[in-house]
Amino acid sequence: MRIFILEDSPERITAFFQMFDGQNITVTNTAISAKTILDNQRFDMIFLDHDLGGQTFVDSECENTGWQIAKHIPKTSNCNTRVLIHSWNSPAASRMNDFLTYSEDFTGRVESKMFGTFDGCILY
């Protein structure tokens, strides 16, 4: 399985690699690089965080957010890929989920679940 992950937390990235051991995983921590990757590669599953750059509760209109990638996915060959939004920023995650759910150009499945780590345990 080819998995794309947009995430800036080293702990969460480690947890993803543990969860998907043996899978083909591509990770990036910026929206700019995510756009380039998604423009050039096809994935079976996409995981999106919203707040990047070590910041929390970032305005979605900032360039380096998962929201910018959610808007970009329907323009790529990943427009029918399963997307899981794992941000703890509930309002932003909701906005991303709603956009993809109601986008005429996105035909994949979208889910939103908070994901993180706490004392070495995976919270999902």
CA distance 94 to 1: 26
CA distance 8 to 25: 15
- Digit-coded pLDDT (tens) for 12-33: 999 999 999 999 999 999 999 9
- The token duo for 33 is 């690089």
Per the prediction, the chain carries an average pLDDT of 90
pTM for the predicted model, two decimal places: 0.90
Q: Which amino acid is at 103?
A: S
Where along the chain do its domains lie? 2-123
Q: What is the topology classification, in CATH, of domain 2-123?
A: Rossmann fold (3.40.50)
Residue 43, pLDDT > 90, answer: yes
Q: What is the pLDDT of residue 55?
A: 79
Q: Residue for token digits 């919270």?
A: 123
